[in-house]
Structure 1
Amino acid sequence: MTSAPVSPAVSLADLDPDALRSVHAEFAAAYEELKAAGLKLDLTRGKPGADQLDLSNDLLHLPDGEYRDAAGTDLRNYGGAVGLPELRAIFADALRVPVPQLLALGNASLTVMHDTIAQALIQGVPGGELPWGRQQISFIAPVPGYDRHFSICERYGIRLIPVPLNDDGPDVAAVAALLETDDSIKGMWCVPVYSNPTGAVYSEDVVRALVSLPAAADFRLFWDNAYAVHHLGDERPEPIDVLGLAAEAGNPDRPLVFASTSKVTFPGAGVAFVGGSPTNVDWIVRNMSVQSIGPDKINQLRHVRLLRDEQGLAAHMEKHRAILEPKFAAVQGAFEARLAPYGAGTWTSPGGGYFVSLDVVDGCAKRAVQLAAEAGIAVTPAGATFPYGDDPRDANIRIAPTFPPLDELRTALDGLCTAILLAEAETLLAAKG
């Protein structure tokens, strides 16, 4: 559904040295024209574009003088540590977390994930004998993956162990082997729907395996369901009840579910969610009780008034889809027109989310990104999708098409393709002497 690579018709690698030198000269001339254009374009981060942000501009005047929730509580005051039940109910089904086990908090799920790890390092988690900070700690990192997940672990000296990410989720055999042999592993990063950057969607079989594998009682799946409602087509993956499957497997405390409205409404003024077993939720609430007396409940009420219910959320996301679908189509069109004829790379065709994952010839991703940058096209650094920025193949480039206007995106993609073709030709010429 999401990650089938496009098969090239011809490959630069199949050309003899003379033919390769000829196309290299063509690519070099095209690149010089590109640099002369004086572009200044940005494909670095998966941010909503201005037209997407405009969809939520009603938040700027909502809640229209209202300040009480459905129960009549004055939301201007202290309290309400777990967030508005009405807002939690809007997202509960999409995240497959019961409302009593879902908390609505501040504006960034990354903050909640960071704080959860910090509390685990200091206090330990339910079921653990020691705080994580008093042990050697490792996390499993499916790759390619999300650089900000990796940054949290890197900041606190948590060793990251990469495992392959397949179209249906992490390589279960690799995960099982690591858990069997390395008792320092206490966590694993997961983006189960439209994974960043490949667009992979975890299958139920993979999820059942992940919640069932033998592991320490304080092993946690950091289940970042950031793109659960961010669909690009009519085919929608059925949400998986990871909490229910974990309870069924006898490991109810294993998953910690995170999400936010960052790409639903305003990233700068959204709402983050965290869910888990009753035991995990109690642990999180106790930790929060010494940090905050409550989240921004007025902002949560704004979101309730804007989205209203599950159907309202779905309708709102269809407006996002209408803006984003042509941008993702532009990526596919550019790569098929410019790269496919030369066999220059394979890429994913995601069914949702915010990214496309592109693999170029081994050893030339950094060079391609460098060439693009020198021509005025900023791209996510090569290697960012791997722990410590180290892609052992130097092949993966994350494409973030959402932020630029469509005409700028097409220009940037065309220029990036020129840089990739030149980088691949250089790399192959060097290999052939």
Structure 2
Amino acid sequence: MLGENSTTAWRKKAPTDLSNTVNRDVLYACCRSLYNENLLNKTVEKGTQPKIDISNDEFVSRPQVVERIKEILQPHKNHSYYHLICGEHGTGKTTLARIASSEVGCGVIYVDIPADLSGLDKAFGKAINFASEKISITGQWLRKIKSDDTPKISECAKALKTFRHASEVYKAKHDKPMVIVYDNVSYLVHKNPKILDILQDDAKHSADDRKYIAVFVCSEGSVPQRMESRSAWSRAKTPVMEIGDLSKEESMEYLIKKRKIKEVDVKKLFDLVGGRIIELKTVADDFLKGQEFEVVKKQVLNKVEKTFRSAELLPNGLYYEVGKSIIGDLLNSNNKSNELSFLDFNKYFDKTEKLNEVLGSNIFSYHPEKNVVTFQSQSVKCYVHENADIFSVPGSHIKIIEVN
């Protein structure tokens, strides 16, 4: 047990020790902030230049799409909009965005939003070359002696603040705004939409002030729906850029020249999955392993059927009847484009929540550039035709037949 003199001495010394420690931590924080700003300025000068991890035999060059993205990534000095680039999963939008970002280089920061949002701070810090945060001695001490410890400011928020400062430095030097690309923002809308709202609001304010330009890359569906519904959409550049499937010619060239598949088989594979590059690669891999086409086809349609079941769009499912009506309208003989205006699609639902649930089920796809709804993929359309009796639609005129 401490004596009275010892206790008194400790009480006199403690404030001094705390003050000295706090001063050291304040100095550390200031140095770290300056160091991070310097790192960011250097990073912006050369750009993030993300890596493209794809082999030549899998890569399909799409120079026109890359050039269009590069135009977005090189704004003029008075550019006052942010951008949205959409594309279904498997269309190659991430690869194309990375290629364009790397080729432009200077002034482009690329942030890859992780599927696990607990790593968002790290991803943001990595993109702009921030030094990792260390917990100070004072921080540890205060956590022990304070019951009402205020949560630390998000690393993302601090990064955005520093980014605004760096954008001023960059624009003063280059006479044009810098660009930040947020890829895979669909992860945000499903797990923490408030973060997406914060980034969109910041993008709007930065566009207003012409400080920097934000580019959001996402899957079609709930992200553009949410962003369009907010007031911050007023500064979004419209029409939205969409990255679609490969054309028939591009798909045939990929399967014949890169995958060395015979043309007669290529036609069947294309009719099954269309120009969705990720699905083309999968069916090509399976086919080249020696699987018969009918086996490949069954695997594809079984996967689609599981999606229909999860979406409650099969008989006895919650959305079966409304889904059947939508499918009927999409395949109406007078509807050559197999599209529905969003207003017509919206008429089937009495609540926005139901519309979003069906639209997010990977059966239908919303295209903001044209404001229409279509089937999500060729494989979905193929499944419907193969099961015409379930959905009360005419038999398939594109039914795939095995050719000996």
TM-score (norm 2): 0.30
Q: If each structure's strand is expressed as a fraction of its own residues, which one has the higher value?
A: 1
The higher radius of gyration belongs to 2
Which protein has greater RCO, CA pairs closer than 8 Å, 6+ apart?
1
Q: If each structure's helix is expressed as a fraction of its own residues, which one has the higher value?
A: 2
